[in-house]
Amino acid sequence: MSKKISDLFEEAVQEVREQILQAAGQTELPEDDDSNGNKEKGKKSKGGDIVPIEDQLPNKLYIIPLSGRPIFPGIFTPIMLHSEEDKKVLEKAYDENGFIGMCLLKNDVESPVASDLYAVGTVARIVKKINLPDGGINAFVSTVKRFKIRKVLNAEKEICVAVDYLEETNDTSFEVKALNRALLSEMKEISENNPLFNEEMRTNMINIDHPGKIADFVASILDIDKNEQQKVLEQLDVQKRLEQVMVYIKKEQEILKVQKKVQSDLNEKVEKSQREYFLREELKKIQSELGIASDGKSSDYQKFKEKIQSFKFEGEIKEAVYSELEKFNLMDPQYPDYMVSRNYLELVCALPWLDDTDKVEYNLENAKKILDNDHYGLDDVKKRILEFLSVRKLRKDNKGSIIILVGPPGVGKTSVGKSIAASMNKPFYRFSVGGEHDQSSIKGHRRTYVGAMPGKIIEGLKITKSKSPVFMIDEVDKMNASAQGDPSSALLEVLDPEQNVTFRDTYLDLPFDVSNVLFILTANSLDTIPSPLLDRAEIIQLSGYIDQEKMEIAKKYLVPKNCEKNGLKKNQVKFTNSALSLIATEYAREAGVRNFEKCIDKINRKLIYETMTGSGNDGNISDKFTVDVPEVRKYLGKPVFDESQIKVASVPGTAIGLAWTSMGGDTLLIESISFASEKAGGLQLTGQMGDVMKESAQIAMNWVKQYAVNNKIKEPEWFEKNIIHLHIPEGATPKDGPSAGITMATTLISLLTGKTIKKNLAMTGELSLTGQVLPIGGLREKTVAAKRNGIKTIIIPYANERDLEEIPEHVKKGITFKPVKNVLEVIELAF
């Protein structure tokens, strides 16, 4: 039976001891075979005298490349060999003379050659070699001396070199002895504080009598970089070698100090945590014995349990909530998930699970009064809201609905939503989704994330503490899809009456009925709202205000509100009708009233400043002020809009069109000129038109060309020799849409005939290639813009005549509408 590995190791150690005895003059053991057939070799001289092992070293060595660390002289160590090349090299070296060379690789490579090795290495005697079951060889070697490669005999695979053996220098000076003692002293301190240094290492270190070998031994056991160890191996001056090793020892000591401090701090924290745990357990026991209230966690558990029982949950909700509650009860407060579970249960207990819709009552007369007090005008909007409330009251239907309020900025969409909530006597919650690009803002985050929260819908129910509040979701036309999801798609489940009975927030992960919530959405435009979202909602349009409406709003709401904001009494500042009209026409001509309010605020501030600084006032103003046209001009400065900016088609080749934008209606002055061209004629378009508008311009050009030729206004050759340039001013503003078709055609007819269109005339309508006038959208907003710009006559498509009923009478007052079916009617009315 083969020997055990441990027995072979002991035999190898015994042989090294015998070699040491040989160096001391003892007899060398004779050649013998072991059980593996490996010969143990030693040499005698012919006269029987002992030959020192240094004299036996061969000048030619086979090399084993080392990838880990260099091996220093005076070390007995095993080396594991698995590659075929290394095994062959070992066998050759063993059979030839029993010595092997070991050199460190400069860089780890798969198939090393001689140029990959450092030039300085260590020669070792092969003491034992053991064949391993996996095919590898475990060789025990005893390193002897440094060498330097003099010549490469075989550079690849079985690397063979000629070597020169290196002798140490400067190993007997006083400095060396002093360094040797200091090194042993420092290593003693390190070995006492580092459990990795065992007793055998300490003994070996003390018994080594040569300073160079002590430096080698210490360098081999310190945790330093292999390249630094190679530098120590290459250093032949013992004093310098000791100095190098001392530097590494100092670094090791610094690391040990930091390690000791970290370990001490960690132990202190662990001890403190254990101490607190035992104290808490003792406190629990004492409280239990005395029969008094338990810790905060138990009181939280009881509070959650009582609240959850009052909800009388059933099915999935009951199972999930009670499971979470029991998990919370078993959880240690120091556990990281403790607060996660606690926050979840707090949310569950804070939500209005019980139906409270029967408690809400509202009176239609009172609702009408609230709407009238809060808003001037908007009669059709108020009417639709009261119709909606009437149906709910008759049916006693508490199911929620979805309303979308669409209109330009500043017309009162948000305040209308608040008024609806007040008229229904319900709590109001508003949040904006403008710029949102993450669906988690609607449906919440998963509880596994740090800092996870429920979505806005569940958060709103928690805040209002009602199952049927009024929710206002602002700016739904400004949501964006991204890698985090599409918020508009997440809203579909919330707003669908068939799905929101079991709305499931990602954080809550329980079905919650939000079908009783009244959702009011606001937007400036319907173009960017997904069609499925529009299908679920009732759309209410809010058009802009005309000047008379702005004046009334200022008198009833803006002036009193702004006086209070600036510290004045309600009726302390009075604006004349002329002043308010001037502000509306020359300083705040937008669809809403925000700029109007800013102008009033600016006037009030300047009034207060002049009064406070002019009379040395101590902080109280009792005077009453009247603001007329001179004061408006004085405090607001030059007009933002003047009469010259009102668009007028005063020359041939111009016409006024009406446009709709998300900011409300607007008027467009379309201009055209013609000039001769040496090349072919054609149509040039400028003014940042979109693709649809460019197509409309081409259709208008082709129809006008046919009309001009048929009516002998121009010859066909004229169009081939002239270029017509069509431009819409304010070139920095993008424009698009088909509704300027008849305006462009009128502009071109005006250019070709040299005639000017009638004064105070505007038009809107899409033109077909056969001259038909097709319907357009946004007639209400366009009419408000025309009224603001002093237009008296508006040409509209015949199909839009039905839309006139939706325009309030005070807006239509003073404007004549001319419905047309064909562009020929437009030409007849325009000139």
Active site residues: 739, 782
Q: Are 534 and 528 in contact (CB under 8 A)?
A: no
For tokens 């002329």, what's the residue?
A: 578
Burial label, 16 (beta-carbon count in 10 A; 0-12, 13-18, 19+): middle
DSSP string, 209-240: --HHHHHHHHHHHS---HHHHHHHHH--BHHH
As a whole number of angstroms, the distance between CA 369 and CA 726 comes to 52
Cα dist from 803 to 17, 190, 211, 742, 781, whole Å: 114, 95, 108, 19, 11
As a whole number of angstroms, the distance between CA 159 and CA 121 comes to 13
Instruction: Kindly list the strands in the beta sheet with 654-661, ordered across the sheet, starting from the edge strand earlier in the chain.
Output: 682-686, 722-727, 664-676, 654-661, 761-763, 793-797, 816-820
As a whole number of angstroms, the distance between CA 570 and CA 95 comes to 115
Instruction: Copy the structure tokens of residue 453.
Output: 């929260």
As a whole number of angstroms, the distance between CA 708 and CA 749 comes to 8
b/e per residue 437-462 (b: at least 16 CB within 10 A)? ebbbbbbbbebeeeebbbbbbbbbbb
As a whole number of angstroms, the distance between CA 149 and CA 357 comes to 96
As a whole number of angstroms, the distance between CA 29 and CA 301 comes to 82
Indicate the residue type of 320. A
DSSP string, 733-771: S-B--STTHHHHHHHHHHHHHTPPPPTTEEE--EE-TTS
Q: Are 161 and 139 in contact (CB under 8 A)?
A: no
For tokens 């002798």, what's the residue?
A: 167
Helices (DSSP H) in 435-485: which residue ranges?
Answer: 440-443, 456-464
Indicate the residue type of 610. E
Length of the chain: 831
Cα dist from 486 to 159, 493, 519, whole Å: 66, 12, 19
Q: How many CB atoms lie within 10 A of CB 812?
A: 14
DSSP string, 151-213: EEEE-SSS-EEEEEE---BS-SSHHHHHHHHHHHHHHHHHHHH-TTS-HHHHHHHHH---HHH
The helix/strand/coil state of 797 is strand
Q: Name which of 357, 500, 365 is nearest 426 in CA terms.
A: 357
Q: How many CB atoms lie within 10 A of CB 772?
A: 16
Instruction: Copy the structure tokens of residue 678.
Output: 């040496």
Cα dist from 70 to 80, 127, 173, 211, 574, whole Å: 14, 19, 27, 19, 97
Q: Name which of 752, 754, 740 is nearest 826 in CA terms.
A: 740
Cα dist from 783 to 352, 662, 743, 794, whole Å: 47, 15, 16, 8
Q: Are 404 and 385 in contact (CB under 8 A)?
A: no
